[in-house]
Structure 1
């Protein structure tokens, strides 16, 4: 997402002719969009995106379990 944000900022700077970016070739301005597409393709094909989603779900599950234990007055166990 950071690469896409950077791409959009550079595009806006080129379009509105702000700063040194106004002098850049359109190829340099559009290159970060290509890099963003390559990143997304790699992340999806390698399973990186799915792995991060599963890690986030597992953390939410652990947090929810700990919250319920605290509400019941049980002390959470120390991590092993």
Structure 2
């Protein structure tokens, strides 16, 4: 995602002719886009994106479980220590 933002920012700066970006080659300006495609392919093939998605789901599930335990008085905060 960051590579896409950088790419769009570089295009805007190039078209607005801001400072050193005015003389910057279009190859450099457009280079973040193919790099983003390569990153997405790598992340998808290695399972990086799926693992992050599963971690987020597990975190939400644990938060929901903890809220339910707290609601019935069995949560860590309300449980008496032995």
User: Is the shorter-chain TM-score for this pair beyond 0.5, marking a shared fold?
Assistant: yes
Match of 1:22 in 2: 22
> Does residue 35 in structure 1 map to residue 35 in structure 2?
yes
Where structure 1 has 5 or more consecutive residues not aligned to the other structure, the ranges are: none
Q: Deviation string for 1:35-79 (max 9, x for gaps)?
A: 1111111011111111110010000000000011111111328xx
Question: TM-score scaled to structure 1, two decimals?
Answer: 0.89
More helix by percentage: 1
Whose radius of gyration is greater, 1 or 2? Answer: 2
Give aligned pairs, total.
77
Where structure 2 has 5 or more consecutive residues not aligned to the other structure, the ranges are: none
Runs of 4+ in 1 over 6 A off after TM superposition: none
CA RMSD of aligned residues (A): 1.3
How far does residue 4 in structure 1 lie from its aligned partner after superposition? Answer: 1.1
Match of 1:63 in 2: 63
Q: Mean Cα displacement is larger for which, 16-25 or 52-61?
A: 16-25
